[in-house]
């Protein structure tokens, strides 16, 4: 499992909890992952399955306001993963790569310092 982390400043809400906006790439269904992310104040703004051949383009732009890109590695091809990783790096966005399971996601978030 490869995990890449790039530090970015969190945005805060009125109750002073950091809310981070994430784009998830990979998988058709997310299962219990959205509830796990909510527990860690991470909001899913977009979910991209990665099946579209256009996702392999090199000039991909991530949605505005994205702070984290989560790559579900067991449901992505190498070219799609490379494209999204490069787009995140160009924008200075943190990348988390893990398998599509709650346990793997929890471990990846811990290793990147995104959960308490």
**pLDDT above 70 as % of the chain:** 83
What domain range is 27 assigned to?
11-111
Question: Hey, which residues does 106 pair with through a beta bridge?
Answer: none
35-44 contact pairs (CB < 8 A, 24+): 36/102, 36/105, 36/106, 37/105, 40/109, 40/114, 40/115, 40/116, 41/17, 42/68, 42/109, 42/114, 43/19
CATH number, domain with residue 26: 3.40.50.10700
- Residues lower than pLDDT 70 in the chain: 1-17, 58-59, 116
Q: What are phi and psi of 60, to 5 degrees?
A: -70, 140
Global pTM? Answer: 0.83
- Please, are residues 25 and 50 in contact by the beta-carbon 8 Å criterion? yes
pLDDT number for residue 53: 82
Total structural domains within the chain: 1
- Residue 76 forms part of a structural domain: yes
The answer to whether position 75 is within a domain reads yes
pLDDT, one tens digit per residue, over 17-35 is: 678 999 999 999 999 999 9
Let me know if residue 47 belongs to a domain: yes
């Amino acid at each position: 499992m490869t995990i890449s982390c790039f530090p970015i400043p969190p945005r805060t809400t009125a109750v002073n909890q950091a809310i981070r906006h994430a784009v998830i790439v990979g998988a058709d269904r997310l299962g219990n992952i959205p509830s796990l992310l909510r527990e860690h104040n991470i909001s899913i703004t977009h979910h991209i399955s990665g099946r579209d051949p256009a996702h392999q383009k090199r000039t991909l732009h991530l949605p505005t306001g994205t702070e984290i890109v989560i790559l579900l590695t067991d449901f992505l091809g190498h070219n799609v993963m490379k494209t999204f990783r490069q787009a995140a790096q160009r924008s200075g966005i943190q990348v988390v790569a893990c398998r599509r399971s709650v346990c793997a996601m929890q471990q990846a978030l811990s290793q990147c310092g995104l959960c308490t």
